[in-house]
Structure 1
Amino acid sequence: MRTTVNHTINLTFRRLVLVIALGSAALLAGCSSTAKKTGNSTYDFGPAPMPVAAQAPSPLGVLVVTDVTGVAALDNERMFYRLAYADPLRARTYSNSRWAGTPLSMVTQRIKSRLSQAGVKVLTPTDAAAGMPILRMEMDDFTHTFDSATQSYGQLTLRASLFHGHKLIDQRVFNQKTNADSLDAAGGARALAAATDAAAANMLVWLDTLQLPKQ
């Protein structure tokens, strides 16, 4: 009788050990799968689109372009989104997605690239001579915004000021919204890249209408 009881206890113990081992293996496999799904992603604007047709060079000729400035939240690589339909006063960040650079630096570089494509000779403040026109920009918003649970867009708000000497020639606010093609960080990144390109194109049109005073 004692032999039978011991045999039953040993069999039960072996089964328990087997169940624990299989459970541990399944748990590790699940953690590994989750880690692959939630890996960090880094986004940039991609290459600047080439002009669809030849255009006359900008009449500006030479332009000093300073770095875009903005609030501290835009001076890091976090990707922000906002649920405007549910909690419009709260800016959230994507936990596993980041920009390749700060939005301030990325928008600066993109606008400089688009100006160069239009034939403008872009200089930095350290390279420029006195008396050249200066473009200064401030960014107020750069967010993937959801206006409903099924629709979102990239929101860019940029204030541009053109100076000549110490005189303000003109100032314009570019408030650009571009619909996102997916409701995630990747869709937000594409929408914000397109919004930046659209704002740069509108800025070129604005700059070409301005008349700078003769030196």
Structure 2
Amino acid sequence: MAGAVWALAACSVLPDKPTRPTLFDLGAMPSAGPAPAAPKAANLSPLAMSAIEAHGPLEGSNAMLYRLAYANDQQLRPYAESRWAMAPALLVDQRLRNLLSQNRPVVSEAEGQAQLNNAGALPRGLRVELLEFGQVFSAPAASSAVVRLRATVVALSPDGEKLLAQRQFSVQRDAPSADAPGGVRALAAATDALALEMDQWLGALN
């Protein structure tokens, strides 16, 4: 009997089984909509897009980050029970390729190099750096999503590369709720808006 009582007492002090964090992505890809005054895909130069790069806290981490601007704007904090299904750079990469390919051929860096070696239609190179991807709280009950990146376009040729254009993009969207799910919805909206803005910029470069 004493042994049974001891076993029950030991069980009562065991820590609870750790709960797995909730995983999020950016949701379903936006469907192709009308592109007003946009050139036809056949008239746009193909893009050889490199994998999006990220540095610092965004590099290779699935953490869902936020800032408390009203307390300490310099401190990045991760949600304890919510994480991205994959690194933010990969999520943005998927979203961006999907939208840009609606108006022009988008190939990988290796495919672009193959076209270069075969002296086919030479694509332009697109390199993207993800600079910021997170939720910012201006007050305990108010937050917004911020997505910021740098895009560089180069002309590819057998003789090397030539810089054509570079631009930094930044989009902010209010979150519908001051929590992780609200931040996810706002980040998806900001990413899609930024992709459309980049698409228009690239079309003007053609």
After TM superposition, the score normalised by the length of structure 2 is 0.81
What do the CA deviations read for 1:91-120 (whole angstroms, capped 9, x no partner)?
0000111101100111111100001122x1
**CA displacement at 1:72 relative to structure 2:** 3.5
2: CA distance, partners of 1:114 / 1:52: 10
Indicate the residue corresponding to 2:27 in structure 1: 46
Indicate the residue corresponding to 1:79 in structure 2: 64
2: CA distance, partners of 1:71 / 1:60: 31
RMSD: 2.3
**CA displacement at 1:46 relative to structure 2:** 1.1
1:67-146 matched pairs, under 5 angstroms: 67-74=51-58, 75-118=60-103, 120-128=104-112, 129-130=115-116, 131-146=122-137
2: CA distance, partners of 1:147 / 1:103: 22
SS at match of 2:82: strand
**CA displacement at 1:149 relative to structure 2:** 1.7
CA contact (8 A) 1:140 1:158 kept: yes
1:148 aligns with 2:139: yes
Greater strand share, structure number:
2
2: CA distance, partners of 1:195 / 1:201: 10
Question: Which 4+ runs in 1 deviate beyond 6 A?
Answer: none
Stretches of structure 2 that go unaligned for 5 or more consecutive residues are: 117-121
2: CA distance, partners of 1:156 / 1:124: 23
SS at match of 1:186: helix
2: CA distance, partners of 1:161 / 1:85: 34
After TM superposition, the score normalised by the length of structure 1 is 0.77
**CA displacement at 1:147 relative to structure 2:** 1.3
**CA displacement at 1:39 relative to structure 2:** 5.0
Count residues in correspondence: 183
Cα distance change of structure 1 residues 78 and 133 upon mapping to structure 2, 3 Å threshold? same
Greater helix share, structure number:
1
1:1-215 matched pairs, under 5 angstroms: 39-53=20-34, 56=38, 57-58=40-41, 59-74=43-58, 75-118=60-103, 120-128=104-112, 129-130=115-116, 131-165=122-156, 166-211=161-206
Identity of aligned residues (%): 36
Indicate the residue corresponding to 1:11 in structure 2: none
1: CA distance, partners of 2:204 / 2:49: 18
CA contact (8 A) 1:60 1:207 kept: no
**CA displacement at 1:132 relative to structure 2:** 1.9
CA contact (8 A) 2:67 2:137 kept: yes
2: CA distance, partners of 1:149 / 1:54: 38
